[in-house]
Amino acid sequence: MPELLEALRQVTETSAFAGGPFVERFETDFAAFCRTRHALGVGSGTDALWLSLLALGVGPGDEVITVPNGFMATAEAISFCGARPVFVDIDERTYTMDPALLEAAITPRTQAIIPVHIFGQMADMNPILAIAHRHGVPVVEDASQAHGAEYRGRRAGSLGAAGCFGFDPGKNLGAFGEAGAVTTDEPELRAKIQVLFDHGQATKQLHSIIGWNARMDGIQAAVLSVKLRRLEAANASRGSHGRLYDQLLAHEPRVIRPWVAPLNTHVFHIYAVRVRDRDGVLQRAAARGVNCAVHYPVPIHLQKAYSFLELGAGSFPVAERCAREFLSLPMYPELTTEQIQFVAETLKESLRD
Ligand SMILES: *Cc1c(COP(=O)(O)O)cnc(C)c1O
């Protein structure tokens, strides 16, 4: 905490509130962490997705492929480019985009593919990138739940044309409010996003395109630079909490535990199990003092906002079944062994009634 207060003091003293040296420093630190050439601080994870798609030229009449079981932001970013979200179902074990279903969803209008690294585990990127490459379509990683996660030794955000991260306070790396970042190895994409998030100014007072205000605050950058130094340790704690939950629930046949694909490092943004009668279990656990959550009860294609896509129930059976069964157990670095044991015991009791 003293380090965070000191960071806030420095920003206040230098009045570097919008953009400036603290943002630049965080960008350097975060690019190093993700092992990419560039990182750009933006206003939120939603901004990161939207600006990346705009910079890749996504616009009206285009289609962008993603999954139906993520957070609304991914589809919103597509819609705010004027494009249409096209969903492909998920793999039942990893809950990420099923590469076997991807190719059939590609059309001549497909302008980008956004796999979502859900709950802290990266999507199966190699086949996704191979299919995308064959069709000349860029891949944008939604890495907002996977800061520091790895796929075959590669960090989240370093495999696609762009990686999009949100840092709202609930994420593995959380700011003191709203913030986000785009990672990329491509200098051209970086330059385009930099112009877009600063009102379309490539040179001060000269607006070459119609942009937007989506810059990162200096205060958020200073806070994030301090917290980034502790992220590896925090992710390691989440990992060991995940292994303890796994052990404690290993002999409980009514619980489907998270599955970590070989060569993946899961950072357990969320530890989601699957159970039958999920809403009943949720209520009984709450009555015993354990508050679980659900990510996410209604898949995106079944939200009212997307009813115009006319994708009814049954369109994506795996995502829909998982959405009925997902139950997120408490997961944060500060959890103690006793708390985890209590949660696991409570879950088992709640399954029995
Ligand atoms: C949080 C989140 C976002 C959006 O990030 P914000 O910073 O809240 O705008 C996008 N995608 C996923 C999967 C997320 O979890």
* Per-residue confidence band for 18, with pLDDT thresholds at 50, 70 and 90: confident
Residue 332: count other Cβ atoms within 10 Å of its Cβ: 15
The confidence score (pLDDT) of residue 19 equals 84
% pLDDT > 70, the chain: 100
CB of residue 116 inside a 6 A radius of ligand 1: yes
How much distance in Å is there from the Cα of 73 to the middle of ligand 1? Answer: 6
Domain 231-352 CATH (choose: 3.90.1150.10, 3.40.50.10110, 3.40.50.300, 3.30.70.2190): 3.90.1150.10
Write down the mean pLDDT value for the chain: 97
* Per-residue confidence band for 342, with pLDDT thresholds at 50, 70 and 90: very high
CB of residue 73 inside a 6 A radius of ligand 1: yes
Supply the pTM of this predicted model. 0.97
Distance CA 303, CA 68 (A): 10
Structure tokens at 170: 């609930």
Residue 168 scores a pLDDT above 90: yes
Residues forming CATH 3.90.1150.10 domain(s) in the chain: 231-352
Structure tokens at 235: 């992710």
- Token pair 């001060």: residue: 204
How much distance in Å is there from the Cα of 77 to the middle of ligand 1? Answer: 11
Q: Which residue has a Cα nearest atom 5 of ligand 1?
A: 45
How much distance in Å is there from the Cα of 165 to the middle of ligand 1? Answer: 7
Residue 21: count other Cβ atoms within 10 Å of its Cβ: 14
Q: Which residue has a Cα nearest atom 14 of ligand 1?
A: 144
Distance CA 64, CA 68 (A): 12
* Per-residue confidence band for 1, with pLDDT thresholds at 50, 70 and 90: confident
How much distance in Å is there from the Cα of 166 to the middle of ligand 1? Answer: 5
Atom of ligand 1 nearest to the CA of 73: 10
209-251 pLDDT tens trace: 999 999 999 999 999 999 999 999 999 999 999 999 999 999 9
CB of residue 145 inside a 6 A radius of ligand 1: yes
Atom of ligand 1 nearest to the CA of 70: 13
How much distance in Å is there from the Cα of 104 to the middle of ligand 1? Answer: 27
Distance CA 83, CA 134 (A): 22
Distance CA 223, CA 5 (A): 9
Residue 353 scores a pLDDT above 90: no
- Token pair 């306070």: residue: 169
252-280 pLDDT tens trace: 999 999 999 999 999 999 999 999 999 99
How much distance in Å is there from the Cα of 143 to the middle of ligand 1? Answer: 8
What is the CATH code for 2-228? Answer: 3.40.640.10
CB of residue 142 inside a 6 A radius of ligand 1: yes
Mutate which of 119, 122, 142, 217 for ligand 1? The one with the most ligand atoms within 8 Å of its CB, which is 142
CB of residue 36 inside a 6 A radius of ligand 1: no
DSSP string, 117-164: -GGG----HHHHHHHHHHTT--BEEE-TT-TT-EETTEETTSSSSEEE
Residues forming CATH 3.40.640.10 domain(s) in the chain: 2-228
CB of residue 143 inside a 6 A radius of ligand 1: no
